């Protein structure tokens, strides 16, 4: 019998990972849902977020507490600028062509970004200064938890609410959803669909970069770190449903908590259990828990 205190601790750990996973997978699923682009290089933007953050924290702020605050603002913004360059300079010219073009291009970007990171920051792992030294920790169920981890949980749920508000309650969000449903009609109404797409890709890139900043102090920065997160993000959006922000949130919670509980219950099946859940969901509901049957896009 597993002590209840340990389960509570693992629940918190699972929520921390789920929050980071949601930041990345929400951007990935939003880009797909609005633009119909499956961006394989999304994990590389997460990696860039972590490296931009360590540069800001150490080089510009000398490891001070203000460096973390600056990193959470500036690093995702820098990643967003990279995303804008990718969408305008590389993806836009191949819109309307077979999806293989997008997959090959974004896969190539993974290789390019990995080499760029090695050239600029080197191949070694880079550790972040411990945010716990100025944020401290609190006791939960007999375990000491850094306040930073609890703040990440709050960040994940806050971003989920903000995305819901943006897409459901604002004019911009309604235009994005309309463009996803029928590009020709939205364009005929005088809305710049290319500009909407660029904005959607930039927002998705910002979220991925934000995930990298959040994860850096927990997992360090290393070349290729985007591979693990993008694989799990695909599991999330398959479980939750492609193009659904709610699905990304629920899928992230399922993956994060499943991995956390499996570590203490039966570690040997930790990773396999996530993909078993994914297979079961696909067998029962091929479009995911909150996905909608794909319609022909115009």
* Contact between 57 and 227 (Cβ < 8 Å): no
pTM for this prediction: 0.93
Cα torsion 213, 216, 218, 219: sign: positive
CB 146 within 8 A of CB 262: no
Per-position pLDDT tens, the chain of length 298 = 667 888 888 899 999 999 999 999 999 999 998 888 889 999 999 999 999 999 999 887 677 778 889 999 999 999 999 999 999 999 999 888 888 899 999 999 999 999 999 999 999 999 998 887 788 888 876 778 889 999 999 999 999 999 999 999 999 989 988 888 888 888 888 888 899 999 999 999 999 999 999 999 998 899 989 998 999 999 999 999 988 999 999 999 999 999 999 988 888 888 789 889 999 999 999 999 998 776 544 4
Asked if residues 211 and 252 have their Cβ atoms less than 8 Å apart, the reply is: no
Task: Specify the residue for token string 């115009």.
Answer: 298
29 Cβ partners below 8 Å, 6+ apart?
A: 236, 237, 240, 242, 243, 244, 245, 247, 248
The phi, psi pair for 221, rounded to 5°, reads -110, 135
The CA–CA distances, whole Å, from 133 to 64, 65, 126 equal: 10, 9, 18
């Amino acid at each position: 019998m597993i002590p209840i205190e340990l389960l509570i601790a693992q629940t918190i750990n699972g929520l921390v990972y789920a929050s980071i996973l949601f930041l990345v997978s929400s951007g990935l699923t939003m880009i797909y849902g609005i633009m119909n682009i499956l961006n394989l290089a999304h994990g590389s933007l997460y990696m860039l977020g972590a490296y931009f953050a360590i540069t800001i924290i150490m080089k510009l702020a000398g490891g001070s507490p203000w460096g973390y605050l600056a990193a959470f603002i500036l690093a995702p913004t820098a990643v967003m600028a990279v995303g804008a360059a990718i969408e305008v300079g590389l993806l836009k010219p191949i819109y309307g062509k077979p999806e293989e073009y997008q997959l090959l291009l974004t896969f190539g970007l993974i290789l390019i970004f990995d080499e760029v990171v090695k050239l600029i920051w080197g191949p070694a792992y880079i550790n972040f200064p411990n945010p716990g030294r100025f944020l401290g920790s609190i006791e939960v169920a007999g375990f000491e938890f850094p306040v930073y981890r609890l703040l990440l949980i709050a960040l994940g749920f806050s971003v989920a609410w903000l995305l819901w508000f943006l897409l459901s309650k604002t004019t911009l969000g309604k235009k994005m959803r309309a463009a996803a449903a029928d590009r020709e009609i939205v364009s005929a109404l005088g809305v710049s669909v290319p500009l909407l797409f660029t904005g959607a890709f930039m927002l998705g890139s910002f979220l991925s970069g934000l995930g990298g900043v959040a994860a850096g102090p927990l997992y360090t920065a290393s070349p290729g770190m985007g591979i693990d997160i993008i694989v799990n993000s695909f599991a999330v959006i398959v479980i939750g449903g492609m193009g659904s922000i709610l699905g990304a949130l629920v899928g992230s919670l399922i993956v994060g908590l499943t991995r956390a509980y499996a570590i203490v219950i039966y570690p040997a099946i930790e990773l396999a259990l996530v993909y078993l859940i994914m297979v079961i969901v696909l067998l029962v509901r091929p479009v995911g828990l909150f996905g909608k049957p794909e319609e022909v896009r115009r």
